[in-house]
Structure 1
């Protein structure tokens, strides 16, 4: 799984300014336990712990703070 630079930047803006290695590991672990909300045209929206991840072609594109 690839995590884009854009996604890392959004994590640092919206969640915490942790080191990149920590963020990468955190996101990968989060995605293992996330719930697939829906997928359209190959773009998945995955939710866990107040975060909505946008995943396309095995790449985490961005994330949003989200209340389900």
Structure 2
């Protein structure tokens, strides 16, 4: 995701901590939604930090609810 979708060089992608990578991905998604010339769905409310942390733990542990 970092080298392809975010366009980062490989050395930066490997040295970036996962929480920063996830923040960059969220920012990229938000930017794409804001600059979409075709409109689309309005952005949902931002998730609470506890929800984000819970999803991160699930992703790293390989579990789904």
TM-score (ref. length: structure 1): 0.30
Q: Which has the higher contact order (CA 8 A, sep 6+)?
A: 1
Larger Rg: 2
More strand by share: 1
